[in-house]
A and B are shown apart, each in its own frame.
Chain A
């Protein structure tokens, strides 16, 4: 188990700058994120879209902002745990015991939730019997493509993930591709490839159809797909893959004894602390009178929460406010010659 000064949940812009502020004042921290990459919403939702309201940065994309924030963390040694999610947070004497889905354990006086609107999870099929087939016959990502060799696979979706897998799996599997409309939002080159494979009979294409039922008691036997005009078709299939992008879910945060108001966590505006001592919320997920869901507000909130962490992580020391322009302490931590 790792004993650390602070644990940050969420590697979006707010979580990253909070990590910077913690390290600058001499506290160590580790960061957990459910995505497979650093950057949060900036990298998942709008990597290419320009942002115009970061102070002193007239224009930058979500990806550029993320890159610069990572660059700003370079002087520090910060451990990131990606593809992981905090499942459990509970009190253990003066500390919080934190456990992740992948089994990582931490002991820390400070937990900072910089979770945006929650963790990104795959969007799922709506028929409720799909749940019992999940991870056996029905998947939202491909971990082992050998599973599908020689089998019939029904792929749902119209974006790059659905199209790329349809192309790739069509080499060794019978592929049905099902999408709710005629147009695809995948890259044109991939769409062309799919159309070629449809014409040569390697992929069976069903458009304006959606999944309405998954049939079978234990094993998946077939699926019913429903056309816009109401007509239903039965497809024999061994496996089903759904690619509908990601959605943000509050997830286990709801079970940590925190006050939650409409997916947001109320905090005070001095420490950005929740109703639990030593658990803070910053960025889009926190709420207080006047809260703005802007990246710049997240930076401010993280800076203040970091100072609050100091008191619990170094109870016998006094925090002194210093500027990076003049403090030799801070400059040393930043790896500058002094």
Chain B
């Protein structure tokens, strides 16, 4: 279990407990946090679960696999700290993770 904070574009903080093994995307979708569309359902095929990871956390996350950076090329306003939230799997180590949700996904 990890406490994850999602900050939506209007600066609202949503902190929720997400079970280990779920993805950061699933945590958002299951808890109705707005701004994560996840059109493809977690298949790394759409770039609509794009988040910005707070700098201090970005380097602690497992590295991107092949294909994630390619999909991020298509995301809305990608930055150096962009990730696809469907590719971040929750574990105890991620307790306290903070991600920002972009103003829109496409």
Contacts and interface: CB of A to CB of B under 8 A. Distances in A.
Q: Which of A41, A157, A180 has the most CB of B within 10 A?
A: A180
Q: In terms of DSSP, what is the predominant structure of the interface of chain A?
A: loop
A181 interface: yes
Interface in A115-173: 117, 123, 126, 157-159
A123 B50 CA distance: 14
Contact of A126 (B48, B70, B76, B80): B76
A158 B69 CA distance: 11
B59 to A, nearest CB: 16
Q: In terms of DSSP, what is the predominant structure of the interface of chain B?
A: loop
B40 A126 contact: no
Q: Which of A159, A181, A263, A293 has the most CB of B within 10 A?
A: A181
A133 B75 CA distance: 21
B69 A248 contact: no
Q: Which of A45, A179, A183 has the most CB of B within 10 A?
A: A45
Contacts, number: 49
Contact of A117 (B39, B70, B74): B39
Interface in A246-283: 247-249, 263
A180 B78 contact: yes
Given A123-B74, A244-B74, A248-B39, A181 B46 contact: no
A45 B106 contact: no
Contacts of A183: 69
Contacts of B106: 123, 247, 249
Contacts of A26: none
11 contacts: A45-B45, A45-B46, A46-B43, A123-B76, A158-B70, A185-B69, A210-B77, A210-B78, A228-B80, A247-B106, A248-B39
Interface of B: 37, 39-41, 43, 45-48, 69-70, 73-74, 76-80, 106
Given A117-B39, A228-B80, 15 more contacts: A45-B46, A123-B76, A123-B106, A126-B77, A157-B73, A159-B73, A181-B69, A181-B73, A185-B70, A210-B77, A228-B79, A247-B46, A247-B47, A263-B37, A293-B41
